[in-house]
Structure 1
């Protein structure tokens, strides 16, 4: 499992407000190209957002579903990106003084992505999630 951490100069509630706006997903999630729809109940357990991944014109349509939600502390997602497969993504927000430590834990859980050797898979996920956290921090701090 890949784990990345970053400190964001904002409260957990401010970080959560970005996570809770499904329409912002492609702004901070590396690989998400656009949002096609967001359930009104997002980020309630069972709610989904429909996204496209890749680069135009080679886009794949799929969805991400909320598995667990504990505002403003924890969000667990099942991100689908077939034909690569599915990943479980856990985002934890930990208050640290006037800032928030954001931890992302991710791994492939279904499909061909699970066949990639764990060290190689973890390295690729870590690189992507470092940039994802950088984008999330810029978005949150710019709104704060």
Structure 2
């Protein structure tokens, strides 16, 4: 099982807003493009989206189905990747102070991915998760900043009101 986590410097509500938009799936999931609703209302249980995976010149049409969701805290998906098989991906959002700790847990279920699963395969999934969580963080944090959320770097020095000097944020 490949488990990876990342602290995203926005609220769990802000992260959920991105996860709950099936049209944005390709913006944060590595290797996907052109995500579109297929059936149901994403992210409700049973809803599905369709997207393409590009491996060099090869393009594969795949889909992901919501198997379970708990509004604002948990999303469990089953990704169908044709001959590569299926995988379970669980995404958990935990409040961490004013931020969100995102935990991703993925493992293959059926097909070639399940049969070939080994330590080397696990390393590839970990690398993919690192990139995916970095994309998700960038997307969420940029949206909060773009919509006027006052997010400052930790330790940034700012001028205090009426102090005429600097203070540590």
State the match for 2:69 in structure 1.
69
RMSD: 1.3
Please state whether the residue corresponding to 1:46 is helix, strand or coil: coil
Contact 1:36/1:52 (8 A) holds in 2: no
8 Å contact from structure 1 (residues 33, 55) kept in 2: no
Q: Secondary structure at the match of 1:34?
A: strand
Q: Residue 14 of structure 1 aligns with which residue?
A: 14
Scaled by the length of structure 2, what TM-score is found?
0.81
- Structure 1 stretch 109-118 or stretch 53-62: which is displaced more? 53-62
2: CA distance, partners of 1:83 / 1:98: 42
Distance 2:55 2:4 in 1: 25
**Which of the pair has more CA radius of gyration?**
2
Gaps of 5+ in 2: 145-169
Give 1:57 deviation, angstroms. 4.4
Which residues of structure 1 form unaligned runs of 5+?
A: none
Larger relative contact order, structure 1 or 2 (CA cutoff 8 Å, min sep 6): 1
Counting only pairs closer than 5 Å after superposition, residues 33-44 of structure 1 correspond to structure 2 as 33-39=33-39, 41-44=41-44
Residue deviations 1:84-111, cap 9 Å, x none? Answer: 1110000000101011000000011110
In the alignment, the residues of structure 2 paired with residue 56 and residue 85 of structure 1 have an alpha-carbon distance, to the nearest angstrom, of: 19
1:62-141 equivalent positions in 2, closer than 5 A: 62-141=62-141
